[in-house]
Structure 1
Amino acid sequence: MAEIKVPELAESITEGTIAKWLKQPGESIDKGEFIVELETDKVNVEVISEEAGVVQELLAAEGDTVEVGQVIAVVGESSGAQSAPAPAAEEVSAAAAPVAEEGTVEQTSADRTIASPAARKLAREKGINLAAVTPVDPMGRVRAQDVSAHNSAPIAPAAPAAPAKATAAPVQEDGRETRERMTRRRQTIAKRLLEVRQSTAMLTTFNEIDMTAVMELRSRKKDEFYDKNDVRLGFMSFFTKAVVAALKKYPYVNSEIDGDDIILKHYYDIGIAVSTEGGLVVPIVRDADRKNFAEIESTIGELAGKARDNKLTIADMSGGSFTITNGGVFGSLFSTPILNGTQVGILGMHTIQKRPVAVGDNVEIRPMMYVALSYDHRVIDGKDSVGFLKMVKELIENPEDLLLGS
């Protein structure tokens, strides 16, 4: 027999969620073959089996929260005696009777409650009667999250299950509402965004950029650029280069607060926000100051592809000194970006829109983009924030300077 455990993921990650079982009890598995996909705060991780054989038991269900080091499955030798393993405790459907815990003789109301092993373990630790826990799952399955949300109370010796179930909220049958549990990543995004708003003195300053010159240069050079580098010339490389130049002039925008200290970063690892089905992720373009336009575009393309395919690693998203987010790809005209983690600055790009603007003494129709810099006012004053954004504007409006300086 071999136990499948939740592996060490990263220093800051201690638990995950079972996203999808790739093998079921009774199925054979080779050594090194993936058995389960875990969803963590940052990325999804596929776990392999260290032994070949037959999956004997799954000890956690899809959607359950599991901790690093926790046994989540058992793999046995491939033999006739093991070809038809007992059904896993987690494979309990709405119509099936709950499976009793191993070693349990008497059946209390808690035993008859459909619950995950993690929920049962937590209930025992907290002294909570599972039958009294109101599950979020409309099918009545109790999970660890339900136990955590329940007020701790001693287990009653004779608590019937029926009254406890009667307290559950009725399921909507008319189709007007659908209750959906947040994914772990969405929960983490929500938590961290709220923490940022509560723990920083965040302000936002705005400006607008005339995109005429950079669009003309891009149009003129894009074919030659692609033929030479096998990658398309986009706007993100221009903005990344402009941001790096502005960070060098205004170093406190490239810093973070640690207690009573300010840590000034002398490297330029620029996070590029990418929208995925699972939520917003921010992979990092490392050492952007040392990369040319083609290398930046290639790196962004590679990271964006990994994000969409759910193949980003912890290393791809760890660190970062400043972030760029482009709401313009969705048509956003104007927004206030929220700071990313411990960083003190984030640049928001927006959609390009033709507008009448004053050019000298004349009014012309120009392609304009609003840009926003959100910053932590505890570190950055108005002078630096306005100067930083003004420098980004000037560099984008004079893109030859970026090309010559790269």
Structure 2
Amino acid sequence: MHLVKKLIKMAAMADILKHPEDIYPLLKLKMVLRNAEKQIPNQPHWYFCYKMLQKVARGFFITIQQLDTELRNSILIFYLVLRALDTVEDDTSLPSDTRVPIFKAFYQHIYDPEWKFSCGTGDCKVLMDQFYLVKTGLLELKTSHQEVIKDVTKRMGAGMAKFICKEVETIDDLNEYVHYVAGLVVIGLSKLFRASGLEDLTPDPIASSVGLLLQNANIIRDYLEDINEIPKPRMFWPTHIWINYVDKLEDLKYEENSVKALHCLNEMVTNALVHLENCLKGLSSFRDPAIFRFYATPQVMAIGTLALCYNNIEVYRGAPKLRPGLIAQVLHQTRTMSDVYGAFFEFTSVMKAKVGKNDPNASLTLSRLEAIQKICRDSGLMNNRKFYIVRSDQGFCNSALGVIISIALCTIFAYILAIN
């Protein structure tokens, strides 16, 4: 319920008027969340874990609900263990010589009932302070699932320790870092799916590509938040890219560098596009419908985020986000490979429309976008469903009747929210 209220609060009335097609998916999302709330176990440790997930990863809280209980609990604990490890990395107020030993030994700490380390802020600090409840849940999982979580935690911690004192200078550095913090997560998920007997193991390079796509989208979108991090900026954009445009990475946020900043941003997005083909390969191999939806939804949102960020100066003014109604549509409509091909095709079309003739990477960007669109077309599975990430100025809501109907729908929508 809290997620829907927050989504609606974020969505201005003008946004809903422009996109009345968002209303039904938002209402469906409300119902999904009501059912998810009812499924939260009463045991104190499980109740804490599910409520904590709802706070630190609301979208993830929704997508895991469709999985069976055993797998859902394992993925829940998997995520929270790694979220705790990530909280140590995110807390830049901690000196490196404090964090490095924790990174390297974190996989052992998850079994130590006495170990405790307070860091982070807000909900993540609460997670760290009450991490013993996550450990309790971990010990109730199948041994094979615990081993996957332990192994990924060990490898991720080692990668974080490596990059705590190492700059991301090249694209290879970026790919290696993102493999540690995101690619390993997807590799771990694949191993959990296999351990549950529901799916075959996804090859590591393909699984890692999924993580690289998701994390690249986050790194691009979160430029301003990372560069303004106190006491020390977090810099994940490779030096070998931004040095072609400015002298210092933080210079991209200044208005006088807007043209160079857009070209740099577009090169970052173009670099991320190389992971799309492997994502489609990985998705096409799944058999279990629930796992497919769990796996596919974040990838559709990632390419949607890339489409939103491409050639968008707002990346340097704040973190642009997909509108709440569009997220609800993705959650509601991503069910089959047909949906995925349709979404990938549409979002790549959005990017193609924004490629400027004077952009130094225009030809490479178009080549990569057209390659993905060819895969989507050649599949023979593409549907005509639209996510409406952008709308024509001559669309439905610009007619007088459209405005009247939209206002009526919004009024009904507000009433339904109020009585529930």
TM-score of the pair, normalised by structure 2? 0.24
Which protein is richer in helix relative to its size? 2
Higher RCO structure (Cα 8 Å, ≥6 apart): 2
Larger Rg: 1
TM-score of the pair, normalised by structure 1? 0.25
Which protein is richer in strand relative to its size? 1
